[in-house]
Amino acid sequence: MNLLKKGFKRGGVKLPEHKETTEHKKIINAPVPKRVKIPLQQHIGKPAIPVVQIGDEVKEGTLIGKMDGDFSANIHSSIPGKVIGIGDIYNPNAQKSRYIEIEFKGNIKYWEIKNSKWDLFSKDELLERIKNAGIVGMGGATFPAHMKYKPPVPIETLLINGAECEPFLTVDDRLMSEKAVELREGIRILKKILNPKKIFIGVEDNKIEAIEMLEKNSANEYEVVPLRTRYPQGGEKQLIEAVLKVEVPSGALPFQVGVVVANISTIYAIYEAILFEKPLYERLVTVSGQIVKWPGNYKVRIGTLIHDLLHDCQLFINPAKIISGGPMMGYSQLTDDTPITKGTSGIVVFSKEEIKFKKEKPCIRCGRCMQACPVGLFPNIMYNNISINDLQSAEKIGLKDCIECGACSFICPSKIQLVNYFKSAKLNLKRNISLSLNKIPRVKGFEYGKEK
Ligand code: SF4
Ligand code: SF4
C-alpha cells in the first residue's frame, strides 16, 4: 500500500522512529520555571534590542526585546516577575546571544479570546499582529513569519508541513490530533493573508490519528495528503515535490514556484496571536529518551533552561548526550544550562550505553551516500574535495544545496560523519575561509539508530 502513497522521489532513508514513547501522550503544561533566560536572538535576522533593565517588573507577554528592523522579531517575557540579569548565552544551535533573565513573581495569566471576528481585520492588520507577537517559523528555520507570509509575488498554493519526519519528535502530531479545529482557524487566517488557490496539509502516514482529525475537521478548507514515511519528508523542497510534484530549482525559494510552506506549530502560534492577542512566549516541546521518567509533549515557556525542564521530567540516570531538536538535524548540547527557544521542538536525551562512538574508517566508495541523498548530491565526492581543502570544487558540485539532513552520514558503512564536514565547509565558505580538514572542528562520530 505504501507504494501508492505520495513521497519525494530521490533518495531518503527509513529511520527507526522512536515516536511510540510520546506519540499518544496528550499535551500538558510544563511547570512554570522559577527563572528564565530569554535570548534576544531566537530567529534568523537581527537580534531584538532590549527594552527592559535590571530591576524592571514584567508581566507574562510584556515586550522585553524590540525587533531591530523588519528582518528581526519581537521577544516577550514568558513569566511574570522581575528582570534580574542581562548577559550572554549560547542558544541550543550554538549561536551566541544576549539574554534577559527574569525571576518569577506574581500570577499566571489566563488568556481569553478577544478577536473571534478576526476576519474583519485586513490582510495588513493580520500581518502586523503576527509581527507584533514575535512569531517565527517554529519548524526550526525561525524565519520571521511576517516576512515569510508576505511573498513578493502572488502564490498558488499554501502547503502545510505536517510531516514531522525527525525520530522522537511528536509535538506537531499531537497538535494535529488535539487541536485540529484551532489549526483550521489558523489556516483560515493564512488563507486570508496569502489568498492561495489551493491548500494542502502533507502528513506522514505514521500519524493515523492526526490524519483522521484533520480530515474530520477540514470543513473543506484544505486537503490532507498522507505521505510515505521516509526521511527527510519534512524538508521544504522534499515536501513540495511529494505533494505537488514540483521541483524547486537549486538556489530558488518555494515562493518562486508559487508555494508558501507553513509549519504546524507556527500556525497554532498564529491562531493564538490573532484570536487571543497572545505573543509567542511558549511552545510545545517533546521530551523523550529511554532514560526520561516522564517523557511527553510539554507546553514550555521560552527561556526555560533545559536543566530545569529535564529536572521536571525526571531522568533515571545522568544523560551522556542531550540533543535539542531531533537526532538527525538537531544540535548536541555542551551544557544543559541552555534555554528553550522559539525553534526548540524537542529535547532528546541518551545514556552512555545508547550512544556508540565509532571511529571513522576510510571511504570504500560504496555509493550508498549518493543513493540516500534527497537532493541528488555526491556526498562522497564533496567529502573528498573537503579532505584536500578544495572547498570551491565541493561548492561547484552542489555543497550549498546540501540541506544538512544527515541521511548520508546515517547510511555510511564507514561511519564518516559526512554532514558535519558539510556544515563546517558551508560555514567556512560563508566566511570565505579556507581551512584544511584537520582544522575543521571535529565532532565525535555518533551513530544514530541501528537499522540501515
Ligand atoms: S557511504 Fe560512506 S563509504 Fe560509501 S561512498 Fe559514501 S562516504 Fe564512502
Ligand atoms: S546531508 Fe547533504 S549531502 Fe548528505 S544526504 Fe543530506 S542533503 Fe545530501
Q: What pLDDT sits at residue 4?
A: 58
Complex ipTM? 0.99
- Mutate which of 359, 364, 386, 410 for ligand 1? The one with the most ligand atoms within 8 Å of its CB, which is 364
**Domain-embedded: residue 67:** no
Which of 139-148, 303-312, 429-438 is modeled with the greatest confidence?
303-312
Q: Are strands 259-263 and 157-162 parallel, antiparallel or unpaired?
A: parallel
* Structural domains counted in the chain: 2
Nearest CA to ligand 1 atom 2: 412
Residue keyed to cell 562512538: 357
Percentage, residues of the chain above pLDDT 90: 87
Whether residue 127 is found in the same domain as residue 192 = yes
Whether residue 372 is found in the same domain as residue 339 = no
396 CB-near residues (< 8 Å, 6+ apart): none
- pLDDT band, residue 436 (cuts 50/70/90): very low
Q: What pLDDT sits at residue 433?
A: 55
- pLDDT band, residue 250 (cuts 50/70/90): confident
Give me the domain span that covers residue 234.
Answer: 1-32+110-354
Percentage, residues of the chain above pLDDT 70: 94
Whether residue 273 is found in the same domain as residue 422 = no
- Counting from 1 in the atom list of ligand 2, the atom nearest the Cα of 407 is 5
Whether residue 164 is found in the same domain as residue 277 = yes
Whether residue 284 is found in the same domain as residue 415 = no
Whether residue 313 is found in the same domain as residue 431 = no
- pLDDT band, residue 427 (cuts 50/70/90): confident
Say yes or no to pLDDT of 306 above 50: yes
Q: What pLDDT sits at residue 26?
A: 98
- pLDDT band, residue 442 (cuts 50/70/90): very low
Q: Which residues pair with 259 in a beta bridge?
A: 157
Say yes or no to pLDDT of 448 above 70: no
Q: What would the grid cell of residue 402 be?
A: 546540501
> Ligand 2: distance of its center to the CA of 28 in Å?
35
| 3-state DSSP helix/strand/coil % of the chain, to nearest 5 | 30, 20, 50
CATH number at 328 reads 3.40.50.11540
What's the average model confidence in pLDDT over 255-280?
97
Q: Is the CB of 412 under 6 A from ligand 1?
A: yes
Whether residue 434 is found in the same domain as residue 298 = no
Q: Is the CB of 363 under 6 A from ligand 1?
A: yes
What's the average model confidence in pLDDT over 408-434?
88
The two most distant CA atoms of the chain are separated, in Å, by: 63
Whether residue 196 is found in the same domain as residue 323 = yes
Whether residue 178 is found in the same domain as residue 300 = yes
> Ligand 1: distance of its center to the CA of 346 in Å?
30
Whether residue 293 is found in the same domain as residue 392 = no
The whole-angstrom separation of Cα 141 and Cα 157 is: 20
Dihedral of the CA atoms 360, 10, 375, 149 (nearest 10)? Answer: -130
